Amino acid sequence: MSKKVVAITSCITGIAHTYMCAKALEDAAGELGYEIHVEKQGASGTEDELTFEQIAQADAVVFACDKAVDESRFAGKDVLKVTCDAGIKDPRGAIERAMARKGTERISAGDVTARRFSDEGRSNAASGAATIFKHVMNGVSHMLPIVVAGGILTALRYAFGSTITDGNIVWAFEAEGSLPYYISQIGATYGLGMMIAVLSAFIADSIADRPGFVPGLIGGLIAGSIQAGFIGGILAGLLAGYVTLYLNKWIQLPPAFAGLKPILILPLLSTLVVGLVMYYVVGTPVALLTAAITSLLSSLNGAGNVVLGIMCGLLYFDLGGAVSKVLYAFAIGMLDTGVYGPMAAVMLCGMVPPIGMALATLIKRDLWNDDERDSGKAAALLGCSYITEGAIPFATSYPLQVLPGCMIGGAVAAVMSLLMGIECTAPHGGMFLLLIPNVINNIGGFLLCLAVGSIVCALIVDGLMTMRRNKDKVAA
């Protein structure tokens, strides 16, 4: 009987890495002769959820996750925890290490939630940079659907047009009680109005589990009300999470009153602490910092736009990985302040690599084998959907040839976009956003930037690949 493996995959956004990692693990397990069941926790919810029977019978367990997952089902199991990216790059190694119990962690039996607050259970309290990043990205991933829906509806309100009254432009959505008015309320007031609160709430939830949710939510609402913006929301979430974490650890009650702690004591005390700190300590400095950043980005001249565009291209070197997500989160934060240029530039940086690779496999077909040319076709579709991960198979096989082209092509597209003043009010969607009026203010310019950046990417990659193939021939 073959050995059995169970795994969970979950990336930050739950769009691409989650499924690419699952496929990689399934393929690797098949090569090793193992039976595997993979639970995908993607943006649309949990797919192929593991049963208790599958977990109980598993000889190895792998968590390839970039955000927190519920560990309670795995009590008593030895679990190997790796990032989603690591699961894609070395799935075979991950499975073999899990099977050999190398680098695994035993999930304690009993109450896993309580274990979360123990010294030996989790390293949350250590507040390491990687741990904090993981919590912040958990908030970003939950916030993303709200920003997408709110941003698109906010842009859609302009599709109803305007009139000129007494020399002033009056938009249709300003007429209270009208259809465009309600669309504006749904998108701008309630949709985008909740983004900071949701970000903060799920950062806190990632740190302290459910008890951190309420203080995180209220802290985020306060951050929004005092104009502390995206940065304030992150700080509120971290503050709420760690305050709740330590209060839960320090406050010990008799068993008869233990039920009061999660329902009354923790929400009350942590919310009070977070609220007062936000108002008296964090609020004003962060609001000033947010205003300064907004002013700086709004007033960038030609040279400043060039520098920002180059930075965007270079920081996308990991093709949708952790560093790219930081840049993406920054662009989303700017949406809340009404600065939409960085979002267009960042989106182009994410679309250029896969589309550029698709072009590279078409321009010089002899450089690529049949599987790579087929991957190029898939990459084109992924790129049009703003899924950068379509370029990862090429970068994994030929990093020195592919990554320079992707970074330079993305930088060219981003610089052009910023210089042309192109703006995007929605954080995801790629080419499909072109179908929605006013989401992208200059559709022709956006397509031009995408085309030029992708062609530059393809030409550089093909040039470097030609040098590699020629070198291989000489060596042979």
- Render 233-268 in DSSP notation, one character per residue: HHHHHHHHHHHHHHHHHH----GGGTTHIIIIIHHH
Q: Is the pLDDT of residue 144 over 50?
A: yes
Q: Is the pLDDT of residue 10 over 70?
A: yes
pLDDT value, residue 1: 63
For 346-358, how does the pLDDT look when each residue is reduced to its tens digit (9 = 90+)? Answer: 999 999 999 999 9
pLDDT value, residue 476: 62
- Identify the three-state secondary structure at position 2: coil
Q: What's the whole-number mean pLDDT along residues 182-187?
A: 91
| Beta-carbon contacts of residue 433 (< 8 Å; ≥ 6 apart) | 152, 424, 426, 439, 440
Closest CA to 74 of 59, 49, 55: 55
pLDDT value, residue 116: 46
Q: Is the pLDDT of residue 237 over 90?
A: yes
Residue with tokens 């082209």: 405
Q: Which residue has the higher pLDDT, 222 or 263?
A: 222
Taking the C-alpha atoms of residue 327 and residue 425, their distance in angstroms, rounded to an integer, is 16
Q: pLDDT confidence of 299, banded at 50, 70, 90?
A: low
pLDDT value, residue 416: 95
H helix or E strand, kind and range, residue 81: strand 78-82
Q: What's the whole-number mean pLDDT along residues 78-84?
A: 90
- CA dist list (Å): 94 to 38, 104, 148: 14, 10, 34
pLDDT value, residue 444: 95
Query: 229 in the Ramachandran plot: left (φ > 0), alpha (ψ -120 to 50) or beta?
Result: left
Class level of CATH domain 4-115 = alpha beta
H helix or E strand, kind and range, residue 345: helix 341-363
For 14-41, how does the pLDDT look when each residue is reduced to its tens digit (9 = 90+)? Answer: 777 888 899 999 999 999 999 999 999 8
Domain borders along the chain are 4-115, 126-289, 300-475
N residues, the chain: 476
Q: Is the pLDDT of residue 245 over 50?
A: yes
For 378-424, how does the pLDDT look when each residue is reduced to its tens digit (9 = 90+)? Answer: 889 889 988 887 888 888 888 899 999 999 999 999 999 999 999 99
Taking the C-alpha atoms of residue 340 and residue 344, their distance in angstroms, rounded to an integer, is 7
Q: Which residue has the higher pLDDT, 148 or 197?
A: 197
- Is-above-0.75 flag for pTM? no
Q: Are 219 and 236 in contact (CB under 8 A)?
A: yes
Q: Are 342 and 434 in contact (CB under 8 A)?
A: no
Q: Are 95 and 121 in contact (CB under 8 A)?
A: no
Residue with tokens 């290490």: 97
Q: Is the pLDDT of residue 8 over 90?
A: yes
Report the range out of 144-153, 217-226, 285-294 with the highest average pLDDT.
217-226
Taking the C-alpha atoms of residue 236 and residue 135, their distance in angstroms, rounded to an integer, is 12
pLDDT value, residue 152: 81
Q: Is the pLDDT of residue 439 over 60?
A: yes
Joined together, the tokens standing for residue 433 give 């956003």
Task: Please report, as a single letter, which amino acid is at residue 69.
Answer: V
pLDDT value, residue 149: 85
pLDDT value, residue 117: 42
Q: Is the pLDDT of residue 361 over 50?
A: yes
Q: What is the CA radius of gyration of the chain?
A: 24
Report the range out of 105-119, 298-312, 338-352, 443-457 with the highest average pLDDT.
443-457
pLDDT value, residue 121: 36
Q: Are 44 and 115 in contact (CB under 8 A)?
A: no
pLDDT value, residue 111: 43
- CA dist list (Å): 310 to 27, 58, 328, 389: 37, 47, 15, 20
pLDDT value, residue 122: 42
Q: Is the pLDDT of residue 191 over 80?
A: yes
pLDDT averaged over every residue in the chain: 85
Q: Are 156 and 104 in contact (CB under 8 A)?
A: no
Q: What's the whole-number mean pLDDT along residues 150-156?
A: 82
| Beta-carbon contacts of residue 167 (< 8 Å; ≥ 6 apart) | none
CB burial of residue 93 (10 Å; 0-12, 13-18, 19+) = middle
Residue 154 has phi, psi (to 5 degrees) of -65, -40
For 413-422, how does the pLDDT look when each residue is reduced to its tens digit (9 = 90+)? Answer: 999 999 999 9
Q: What's the whole-number mean pLDDT along residues 114-142?
A: 62
Q: Is the pLDDT of residue 290 over 80?
A: no
How does strand 60-65 pair with strand 78-82? Answer: parallel
Joined together, the tokens standing for residue 177 give 């009680």
The terminus-to-terminus CA distance of the chain in angstroms comes to 44
Q: Are 219 and 204 in contact (CB under 8 A)?
A: yes
Indicate if 21 belongs to the active site: no
pLDDT value, residue 35: 93
Q: Maximum Cα–Cα distance for the chain, whole Å?
A: 82
The residues facing 116 across adjacent strands are none
Q: What's the whole-number mean pLDDT along residues 103-121?
A: 56
- Alpha-carbon dihedral angle through residues 214, 219, 222, 227, given to the nearest 10 degrees: -140
pLDDT value, residue 118: 41
Taking the C-alpha atoms of residue 108 and residue 76, their distance in angstroms, rounded to an integer, is 6
Q: Is the pLDDT of residue 120 over 80?
A: no
Taking the C-alpha atoms of residue 359 and residue 411, their distance in angstroms, rounded to an integer, is 17
pLDDT value, residue 261: 84
Q: pLDDT confidence of 151, banded at 50, 70, 90?
A: confident
Taking the C-alpha atoms of residue 40 and residue 22, their distance in angstroms, rounded to an integer, is 7
pLDDT value, residue 124: 44
Q: What's the whole-number mean pLDDT along residues 328-335?
A: 83
H helix or E strand, kind and range, residue 419: helix 399-419
How does strand 168-171 pair with strand 162-165? Answer: antiparallel
- CA dist list (Å): 251 to 117, 227, 248, 445: 12, 33, 6, 58
Q: What's the whole-number mean pLDDT along residues 55-64?
A: 93
Taking the C-alpha atoms of residue 433 and residue 427, their distance in angstroms, rounded to an integer, is 10
pLDDT value, residue 109: 59
- Buried-state track 431-443, b at ≥16 Cβ within 10 A, e below 16: bebeebeebbbbe
Q: What's the whole-number mean pLDDT along residues 276-292?
A: 86
pLDDT value, residue 85: 82
Q: pLDDT confidence of 115, banded at 50, 70, 90?
A: very low
